[in-house]
Structure 1
């Protein structure tokens, strides 16, 4: 790997926002470490990048499992020698479940992926960025507009996304001494398979079911690539990118 080549890792890289961001980062000149639970989708993303002349390597891992995350980042260090950017993207949707019907196992599963997974990957990247030479790097956490305003009956998802904001701010503070910047991108209604249901209608704060506008996922991917390309003495601490006409401003 050329010394001037920058390395980016993307979690949840097998589909949706993760795949689109990985491709955009490759187009911006990064070599990609692709992280996700299932190898087949990661290999599909890898092939998309390689067929366009980019560099990518798949590293299967469960972001909610500490040993799995540590193993993946150890492999990334062994393969690439360093890490310049982590797009901490992996997460799961939780649907709409009334609070009184929430099961503890369901809550724990959402927390394991959306919160503990973000922490584990950030910790592994932080350790690598702190130890490498030259020191430093950038961690970009995928929050959500639900980090600011919840949808109805989404207490677990909303709680974890609010908590990601705390992780982002803590890393942005603690990373200063080691040239590690941290950003959060809060995304609203990117057009992926997960949001296809919005075409038919989703629950609104007033109890109605209504369709919602979506935006092309490439706009999110390009925003991630823009943040990743900034010098480490500049940071986008928070960015909200959303379908312009979606009910977020004034939600409720």
Structure 2
């Protein structure tokens, strides 16, 4: 039995990944701020083995409690999909961005990712047999920004550094770490893209999206590799979105 922790599991990509992992035979701890969406995710796969664990990833105590509850129930942690994130402040020009919004985005997207990765790393280092895998949800914005997205883009660039450091520091303990950079998966967060979103040349233009299930299939593939192999970085995106040639 393999044990996964998925943050941001109450909707969108997190929900799709959790359901795909369950279908592939994983037991999945569902983490997110509110219990109701997590329970809705679990209800979509009644035969799945889920643990619903309401968690604010910006809280060190709540993250510690999450991983303690997973280990108490299952005995180990084999996978963390570090997915929780926010696009707060997106669309706001840099000169108008409230520093409190900047800090809130950093707290969730970067500090929250660090806290979850740290807790997973500790568990994977201590358990027998030793090891596990961390998959960080990066973004196309880990490579190139959208207009008026400085907080989100900065955190996603930082996620790449987090991934590289975890990958290096995990080597002695059979802890693999990779990053999946996602572009235009169809979720509530990206709904506005189909109606029209600001482009680098100042136009508003609709953008194509892909099914979040296609992202989930990539995560399941990465997660299923033996720990001797690792997808270090992968990009999965809507084929015709403006990434290649963006700007």
Same fold (TM over 0.5): yes
1:110 corresponding residue in structure 2: 105
Could you tell me how far 1:164 is from its partner in structure 2? 0.3
Could you tell me how far 1:69 is from its partner in structure 2? 0.6
Could you tell me how far 1:55 is from its partner in structure 2? 0.6
- Alpha-carbon displacement from aligned partner over 1:34-90 (angstroms, at most 9, x marks no partner): 0000000001111222x1x22111011100111111111111111110000000000
Match of 2:77 among 75, 79, 83: 83
- Alpha-carbon displacement from aligned partner over 1:189-243 (angstroms, at most 9, x marks no partner): 0011111111110000000000000001110000001100000000000000000
1:28 corresponding residue in structure 2: 24
1:48 and 1:153 map into 2 onto residues whose CA distance is 36
1:137 and 1:89 map into 2 onto residues whose CA distance is 17
2:166 and 2:231 map into 1 onto residues whose CA distance is 13
2:59 corresponding residue in structure 1: 65
2:13 and 2:107 map into 1 onto residues whose CA distance is 20
Match of 1:223 among 215, 218, 221: 218
| Number of equivalenced pairs | 246
1:199 corresponding residue in structure 2: 194
2:5 corresponding residue in structure 1: 9
Give secondary structure in 2 for the equivalent of 1:185. Answer: strand
1:42 corresponding residue in structure 2: 38
**What is the TM-score of this pair, normalised by structure 1?**
0.97
1:245 corresponding residue in structure 2: 240
Gaps in structure 1 of 5+ consecutive residues: none
Structure 2 residue 229 is the aligned partner of structure 1 residue 234: yes
1:100 and 1:93 map into 2 onto residues whose CA distance is 17
**RMSD value over aligned CA atoms?**
0.6
* Alignment of structure 1 residues 127-166 onto 2, 5 Å: 127-166=122-161
1:168 and 1:237 map into 2 onto residues whose CA distance is 8
